[in-house]
Amino acid sequence: MIEKKMEIKADTGTEFEIIPEDTYQAVIDSVELKEQAKYRKPTETEEVLVFRFAILSTDPELNSRLVWKRIKPVVNAGFKNGNASSLYVLLKAVLKKEPDMEKVYSSEDINGLVDKQVRLLIEVKKTQKDGREYNKVSTILATKEDMEVSAEILEQRQTLEEKRKEKEASTVEKGGVKVKDIPFK
pLDDT in tens, the chain (185 residues): 566 677 766 666 567 789 999 999 999 999 999 999 888 888 899 999 999 999 998 888 888 899 999 999 999 988 777 889 999 999 999 999 999 989 999 999 999 999 999 999 999 999 998 889 999 999 999 999 988 887 777 777 777 777 767 766 665 444 444 444 544 44
pLDDT of 80: 73
Model pLDDT, residue 2:
66
Q: Determine phi and psi for 27, rounding to 5 degrees.
A: -110, 140
pTM beyond cutoff 0.85:
no
User: Is 31 in contact with 60 (CB distance < 8 Å)?
Assistant: no
SS (H, E, C) 1-28: CCCCCCCCCCCCCCCCCCCCCEEEEEEE
Counted residue by residue, the chain has a size of 185
How many other CB atoms are found less than 10 A from the CB of residue 165? 10
pLDDT at residue 86, rounded to an integer? 94
Helices (H), 64-173: 86-95, 107-111, 151-170
Please, are residues 38 and 25 in contact by the beta-carbon 8 Å criterion? no
What sign does the dihedral 170-173-177-182 (CA atoms) show?
negative
- The predicted structure's pLDDT at residue 94: 96
Q: What is the pLDDT of residue 179?
A: 46
CA dihedral 50, 41, 101, 96 (to 10 degrees): -40
CB-side neighbour CA atoms (13 Å) of 39? 4
Domain boundaries, the chain: 22-173
Name the helix (H) or strand (E) containing 49.
strand 41-56
